[in-house]
Each structure stands twice: as structure tokens, then as C-alpha cells.
Amino acid sequence: MPAVPILAEPFVRIDHSPLWRLHAAWWAERGAAPFATGEVPSLATSNGVAASERAAFYAALVARLTERGSIADDAPLSVLEIGAGDGRFAANFLRALAEGDAAARSLLARTRYLLTDASQRVVDEAAASPRLAPWVSAGVVRPARLALDAAAPAPTDAPLVLVIANYVASAVPAVHLQRHADGSYRTLMVQLSPRTPIPRSLADVDVEPAWEPVALDACCDDPRHAEVIGRLTRGLAEVTLAYPDRYLDFLLRLAPDLAPGGVIVTTDCGHADERALYGHFTPALHTYGGSLTEALHFPVLDAFAAALGWGVARTDEPLDPLHTAILIPSGPDAAVAAAFDAHLDTGRVMALMDTRAAGAYSLDDGEHRRALRCYLRCVAMDPWEPEHRYRVGLAAIADEYYALAIHHLLVGWDEDLERRWDIAFELGRAHALVGEPDAAVTWYRRSVEHAPHPVTWANLAHLLRTLGRDAEAAEAERRAAASAEISGR
């Protein structure tokens, strides 16, 4: 990663800190790779369940806006996704429309999907991915760089009716405040001390926090934020709050470009009730790879909407770490709120994620049958996700359900367009275990094309020996030794 010049400096507000320069430089350098490697988790918001729910909400929203005369029947429409990352959500959203009923397919034909991210490299790599490239070529997906400090969103030639922001509000600078019983406020300041002469990541700096007095009306550039913060903290003695003013400022700039009745959907990790604010504490800095993140306090959106006269609806299950809210800049709309209740309940997504986690724990503990049941439930909920099929294969092979493993691994192979998972290796194992060495050789060869691991070469060599293909076996043995030496094994 390129170096980010940082010197030992006085205390500055955390939202003005060079930490965020390191954050931006990391994304510029890494592109979309952190999503594939798992350094930055994204399945909770990009999965087929979440995307299908939002596609259904989009259809209900368009029906409502058509009914109220905000948009013309059958006119082209724009959907804007900010912070789109690797584009998996976009691909699943469009697939949900494409594989839906006739009305969904008709809506897809009208849709212009604006795929944006703050990093140009992320946008370029997402647009070139095998899931999205056909949509880009067809003119449905229109990629563009868009940072939250932009004066205006990406241009569109069709009414903008829906904005989608997954894991965005938590990944931009926020002002941190503490309210005291006497009504005074303090803001979080940090001082950075480089651990290396030229810091290249967040791990290369030490962060020392301090809280300093601040006037509420001096916290944010837009004076309306002081009213929002006052509404949110009124009646509470001691409060600690990360207030996402940069994200909300972007929404304020974006609102005039929405069609009347258009909706902004925010999904993020965070809290649903005010108890998360109670007390004075210094929040820990959370990082995924070189990316900073902060939990979003969703009641902020209630207070923000009340102060501006916007419509709002959100999830409120206090046990869930993931929440969704809609904001309607043109004002409350009971029909849209009802569509939110019908389609955007994060309970279904949380059921998927909890079942996936239970499967992982069971697999790690050697409880293969339980893991298999969990992952089969994941497949039933989210059949497009190749990870679920891959893990069904792992558990089924371990529990000697080889035919079941082969079936799901083959489906997973077809779904895994980016080859994130070494499904070919598991298919090689499964075919070998059911006595199909020729098929096993075919799949092991596909595996080494993707990931030339010494174990795969060794397995391939063994099978080739049993088939009497000694020259090929010798070459595989040589490759196994060479790759073991390279990997240090």
C-alpha cells in the first residue's frame, strides 16, 4: 500500500484524523479483493435473501409511486447503490428481478442501476466481475465513482426512486460526543504516533484518545445536526454517541435528486435502542483489514427524520446486530412504511447468518451431521450463494454422504463464477471416495489451475498411479514437491 505521510501531531477530532486517510488509501490499493478474502465481511448485506427482499420492496415502492403520480407508468427508473463494494448485492438484486414474475421482469427492463463506490478501483473491479459484466454490457448497470463528500450523486437520465446503502454509514467519519448531566458536551480527540517511519496501515500507528469540551452548535457544519443531537439526547444524563454527520450530509445533498416519494434504504451493523448510548465510555476502533468501521446508532435516523419532516421506518429488534431503516425525504407515507414492514424485516437475514455461524461452529467441533443440517438450511434460504454449497460439501463428505456432497458442490461450482471457493478440490475428494478416479482426476486438475496446492498435486499423483498413468503421476509428484517448497511446507 502507498505510504500515507503521518507525523506525531497534536490531538485532533477523530473524524478529522489521518486514520481516515489510511482507511481510504487501503481501499484504493486493495480494490475489491478484501471482500473475496473475507478481510471485510459482506455476506450479511449482499446475500440473496437481503437482495431479494429489497427487490420486492423496490417493486412495491414503484407501484406506490406510480399510484400517486410521482413517476410515469413504464418509464425508465434509476436505482443508486452507494458503497457497492464488489457488486455481489447488485448482482443478486438484479437476479431477483430477472428470475421473478412477469411484473418483476418488466420492472427490470425499466431499471438503470447506478453502481458506485468511493474507490475507483473497487468500482472498476466490480464492473468487470463475471457476475456484473453482462449487466454492464447490456447497459443496465452503470458504474461510477461516488464519494460521500461529492457535491451531487452520479448523473442519471431516469427518475431516481431508490437509494441503497449497505455498510456505508458505519464506514465513514463520524463525530463522537459525550453529553454530561449539566447539558455540556465533549468530543473525542485522538493523537496518532507512528510506529514505523512511514505508516502504511492502521496497524502502523498508536492512537491515544482524549475528550475535550465542545459547543453543540460547533460539532457539525450543518446547524440542523445540533437539533437532531439535542432531540436524541434530551432527558438523558450521561450519553456517548457516534453521530454520522458525514453520511447524513450526503443524504441531505442527495434528497433533491430523488423522485417525490423516493426512498433511501440504510442497512448496517449497529444498535436499535437508546440503551446503547447510556454512560460515558471511549469506543474501541474496529477494523476489518485496513478499513475502519463504527456501529451505527439507528435512533439517530428517527431524530434526523423528525427534525427534517422526513418519513422513517426501521427495524427495532434489540438483540440483532444488523438493522435496516428507510428514509423518505418527501415525508411520511403509510403505504411505503407498510411495504417496509412486509419486505425489509432483517429477521430473515439474521436467521441465515445465525444458521451459517452454527454450521461453522459445528464443523469446527467435528459435529458433521449438525453442520450438514445447518448448511442445508442455508441453501434453502439462500440458494444462490456458493459458500453454502461448498460447506454442505465439506460436511457431507465428512459424514460420508458423498452423493449429496457431489450434487451441492456441482451447483456451487456453477454459481461460483469468481472461483472464490476451492470447490473443485472437494469434488475431486468426493469422486475419489466413491470410486470414480477419472472424475476425481478431472476435478483435481481444475483445482490446481485455480490453487496449485501441494496436497492437491499429491492426491492427483496418487490417483494417476492407480490408473497406470505413470508419466503424468511423476509430473504431478514433481509439482507437489515444488509447490510444497514454495509454500514452505
pLDDT in tens, 414-461: 999 999 999 999 999 999 999 999 999 999 999 999 889 999 999 999
Residue with cell 502502523: 204
Residue 489's pLDDT is 42
Distance CA 313, CA 360 (A): 33
Residues paired with 304 in a beta bridge? none
pLDDT tier, 157 (very low <50, low <70, confident <90, very high otherwise): confident
Residue 4's pLDDT is 57
Residue with cell 455461524: 357
Question: What are the pLDDT digits (tens) for 288-326?
Answer: 888 999 999 999 999 999 999 999 999 999 999 999 999
Helix (H, G, I), strand (E, B), or coil: what is residue 144?
strand
**Choice between 471 and 154, residue whose per-residue pLDDT is larger:** 471
DSSP state of 278: B
Residue 487's pLDDT is 62
Report the b/e string of 157-184 with b at 16+ CB within 10 A.
Answer: ebbbbbbbbbbbbbbbbbbbbbbeeeee
Helix (H, G, I), strand (E, B), or coil: what is residue 483?
helix
Report, as an integer, the average pLDDT of 15-43. Answer: 91
How remote is the C-alpha of 469 from its chain's centroid?
47
CATH, range 350-487:
1.25.40.10
CA dihedral (104, 106, 107, 112) positive or negative: positive
Distance CA 484, CA 486 (A): 5
Share of the chain above pLDDT 90, in %: 82
259: left (phi over 0), alpha (psi -120 to 50) or beta: beta
Task: For the chain, give the number of residues.
Answer: 489
Kindly state which CATH superfamily the domain 21-171+248-345 is placed in. Answer: Vaccinia Virus protein VP39 (3.40.50.150)
Contacts of 208 (CB under 8 A, 6+ apart): 11, 190, 191, 192, 193
pTM for the whole structure: 0.94
CA separation (Å) from 298 to 44, 228, 323, 401? Answer: 17, 13, 8, 45
Domain boundaries, the chain: 21-171+248-345, 350-487
Report, as an integer, the average pLDDT of 16-35. Answer: 91
CA geometry: angle 477, 481, 483, nearest 5 deg: 115
**Choice between 4 and 75, residue whose per-residue pLDDT is larger:** 75
By mean pLDDT, which of 123-127, 155-159, 433-437, 467-471 is the weakest?
155-159
